[in-house]
């Protein structure tokens, strides 16, 4: 297989901005020279993921990952280097040569590709059955009754799994691998090991991952059956993890970034219905149980989340659970969208039209406080004096968290009118709770001062030994300054102590044979090894100085060439001394102790001379 031409890689690299690519997956904010956001490679509450536009690199000060735009996509998507280059090229509208034959599949993608292909084929078959066959007529009529347009049927690739269970036969004719079919979750396995279509007589909703690939399905019964679940989802597979999947996230992301908010719906049909009404920033969790993994993915692209669940009692309970979970993250802004008359979003659009639906979404937004007041009201019997007092106390605690005094007055006035109680007494009691809340908030703010991005970065900064700091500083000088590079190269006895920096040194020797100047993003591709790419990114993020003096260079070389061997010998002698101590060899202990003292004196002498 041919190697991807360096000219094409350089063209793509020079025509893209890492900020634009990373910004599709991470919400970035400017902080000094760099951009910061939540790392997409691990969960964190405070941003430690940094992007440097000038150098076109990224680095996470927490988990240590780093590199350029291509390595970012390779790590995030599990794709090969050529695949990452092609992804960036396509985003930037750069034409890929027709004779390109460099593409290769990464091991992870190679393993999962057959499963994705099977899911994609099943989705196409189900869709064909729905729109083109008599078997799908009932399901198609069902969608028409729900006023789902042909465009939405195509956009969401909706399908139908007939009672005839045609999927197994379809794949048998294609001679698809039996073990791959087992792994997809599309079939149930009988005692004798044979496979049977899992889905039958159901409207099929394909579930796509963030990249738009079909990884599972949700099948809905067309008729109520007490013996069967209304919805049947793909079970957990290598592709499908319901805790992590967010329905419609692939289509909604561009709209979420544009509108700076996301609407969380309760069901797939609500999302589809909203999309048809022009509300395209809607997503849904897999069921009403929102997970922390899903919240983390959402907050990578926006800080504003609106919950728009059903207006019935179960829907309001689900809304309350979602709000409680979302409120655990103080960085999120949360709001509620309530459909009138307590009906679900899909039903409201069907009954009132798309324009009215849009208006409700825009104008029917309420705060968490408003929602909590109304939700709590349904939990108490307000004709009972004890319940009424308990309800008032809980509501006042909530109102006390509101910073805006005018907003507090509005809530208190409504409460006084609705419950026929004195506004003055409510204000007096609320003020007491406000003072407590203020003290708690001030305490939280004091604590948060220590977890803002700059401080977190300082806390996460690795601490290196004197020798390693000298190595890192010297290596950075060598890479950025040709005179420093030449000076060190003339010293044929020089080598770095740590293998990692020596490897970079060796790679750099080859790199400078073909490149007159150092470019960290380009060198990162040249190296191609994850650990070295992360180290290079860390070196760049931690150093902006490119001007050095001879004394600085000499100091680093002395530490590396003179101190390092002595320190290594000290470590070895200490190990030998401890072994001798365990064996009870006093004569050897005395000999080694003398040698240790001599080495320590020698090291101290070198340091004194440097000073």
pLDDT at 106 over 50: yes
Report the run of H or E that residue 51 belongs to, with start and end: strand 49-52
Lowest mean pLDDT among 56-70, 132-146, 581-595: 581-595
User: Beta-carbon neighbour count of residue 580 at 10 Å?
Assistant: 18
pLDDT at 362 over 70: yes
Residue 597 burial class via C-beta count within 10 angstroms: exposed 0-12, middle 13-18, buried 19 and up = exposed
Please state, in angstroms and rounded to a whole number, the distance separating the CA atoms of residues 95 and 86: 9
pTM of the entire predicted model: 0.69
User: Beta-carbon neighbour count of residue 314 at 10 Å?
Assistant: 11
Spatial contact of 161 and 197, defined as CB atoms under 8 Å apart: yes
pLDDT at 330 over 90: no
SS3 track for 372-403: HHHHHHCCCCCCCHHHHHHHHHHHHHHHCCCC
Report the run of H or E that residue 460 belongs to, with start and end: helix 453-460
Distance of CA 179 to the CA centre of its chain: 31
Q: How many Cα atoms are found within 13 Å in the side-chain-facing hemisphere of 468?
A: 10
Average pLDDT, the chain: 86
Please state, in angstroms and rounded to a whole number, the distance separating the CA atoms of residues 605 and 611: 10
pLDDT band at 442 (very low <50, low <70, confident <90, very high): low
Max CA-CA distance within the chain? Answer: 96
pLDDT band at 4 (very low <50, low <70, confident <90, very high): confident
pLDDT band at 154 (very low <50, low <70, confident <90, very high): very high
Lowest mean pLDDT among 360-374, 438-452, 487-501: 438-452
pLDDT band at 448 (very low <50, low <70, confident <90, very high): very low
Beta-strand pair 262-265/304-308: parallel
Task: Point out which residues pair with 36 in neighbouring strands.
Answer: 29, 50
Which of 295, 435, 274 is CA-nearest to residue 361?
Answer: 274
Long-range pairs, 28-35, Cβ under 8 A, ≥24: 31/453, 31/454, 33/544, 34/541
Stated length of the chain: 611
Reading the block at residue 567, the tokens are 């320190």
Lowest mean pLDDT among 8-12, 104-108, 569-573: 104-108
Which pLDDT score is estimated for 550?
84
pLDDT at 141 over 70: yes
Phi, psi of 365 (to 5 degrees): -85, 135
How far is the CA of 214 from the CAs of 122, 157, 206, 247, in angstroms? 9, 10, 6, 11
Q: What percent of the chain has pLDDT over 90?
A: 49
């Amino acid at each position: 297989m041919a190697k991807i031409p360096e000219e094409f890689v350089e063209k793509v690299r020079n025509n893209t901005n890492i900020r634009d690519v990373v910004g599709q997956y991470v919400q970035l904010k400017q902080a000094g020279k760099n951009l910061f956001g939540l790392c997409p490679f691990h969960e964190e509450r405070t941003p430690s993921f940094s992007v440097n536009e000038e150098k076109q690199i990224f680095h996470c000060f927490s988990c240590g990952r780093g590199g350029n735009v291509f390595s970012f996509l390779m790590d995030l998507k599990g794709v090969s280097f050529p695949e990452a280059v092609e992804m960036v090229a396509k985003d930037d509208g750069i034409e890929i040569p027709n004779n390109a034959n460099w593409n290769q599949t990464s091991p992870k993608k190679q393993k999962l590709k057959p499963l994705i292909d099977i899911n994609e084929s099943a989705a196409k078959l189900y869709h064909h059955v729905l729109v083109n066959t008599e078997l799908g007529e009932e399901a198609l009529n069902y969608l028409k009754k729900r006023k789902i347009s042909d465009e939405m049927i195509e956009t969401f690739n909706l399908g139908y799994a007939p009672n005839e269970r045609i999927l197994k036969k379809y794949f048998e004719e294609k001679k698809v691998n039996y073990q791959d079919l087992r792994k997809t979750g599309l079939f149930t396995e009988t005692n004798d090991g044979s496979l049977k279509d899992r889905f039958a007589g159901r409207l099929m909703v394909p579930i796509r991952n963030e990249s738009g690939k079909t990884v599972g399905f949700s099948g809905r019964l067309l008729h109520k059956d007490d013996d069967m679940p209304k919805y049947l989802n793909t079970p957990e597979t290598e592709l499908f993890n319901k805790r992590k999947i967010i329905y419609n996230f692939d289509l909604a992301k561009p709209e979420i970034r544009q509108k700076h908010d996301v609407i969380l719906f309760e069901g797939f049909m609500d999302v589809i219905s909203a999309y048809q009404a022009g509300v395209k920033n809607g997503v849904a969790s897999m069921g009403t149980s929102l997970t922390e993994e899903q919240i983390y993915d959402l907050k990578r692209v926006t800080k504003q989340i609106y919950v728009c669940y059903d207006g019935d009692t179960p829907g309001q309970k689900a809304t309350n659970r979602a709000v409680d979970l979302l409120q655990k993250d103080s960085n999120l802004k949360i709001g509620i969208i309530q459909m009138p008359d307590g009906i679900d979003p899909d039903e409201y659009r069907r009954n009132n039209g798309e324009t009215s639906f849009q208006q409700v979404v825009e104008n029917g937004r309420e705060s968490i406080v408003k929602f909590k007041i109304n939700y709590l009201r349904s939990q108490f019997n307000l004709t009972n004096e004890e319940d009424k007092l308990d309800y008032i106390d809980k509501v006042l605690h909530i109102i006390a968290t509101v910073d805006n005094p005018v907003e507090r007055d509005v809530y208190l006035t409504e409460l006084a009118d609705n419950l026929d109680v004195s506004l003055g007494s409510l204000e007096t009691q609320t003020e007491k709770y406000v003072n407590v809340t203020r003290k708690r908030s001030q305490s939280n703010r004091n604590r948060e001062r220590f977890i803002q991005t700059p401080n977190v970065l300082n806390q996460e900064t690795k601490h290196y030994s004197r020798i390693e700091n000298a190595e890192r500083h010297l290596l950075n000088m060598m890479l950025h300054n040709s005179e420093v590079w030449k000076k060190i190269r003339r010293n044929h006895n020089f080598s770095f102590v740590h293998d990692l920096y020596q490897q970079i040194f060796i790679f750099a020797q080859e790199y400078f044979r073909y490149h007159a100047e150092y470019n960290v993003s380009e060198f990162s591709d040249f190296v191609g090894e994850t650990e070295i790419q992360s180290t290079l990114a860390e070196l760049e993020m931690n150093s902006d100085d490119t001007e050095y003096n001879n004394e600085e260079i000499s100091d680093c070389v002395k530490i590396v060439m003179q101190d390092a061997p002595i320190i290594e010998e000290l470590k070895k002698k200490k190990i030998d001394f401890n072994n001798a101590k365990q064996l009870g060899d006093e004569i050897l202990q005395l000999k080694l102790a003398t040698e240790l003292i001599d080495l320590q004196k020698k090291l101290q002498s070198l340091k004194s001379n440097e000073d």
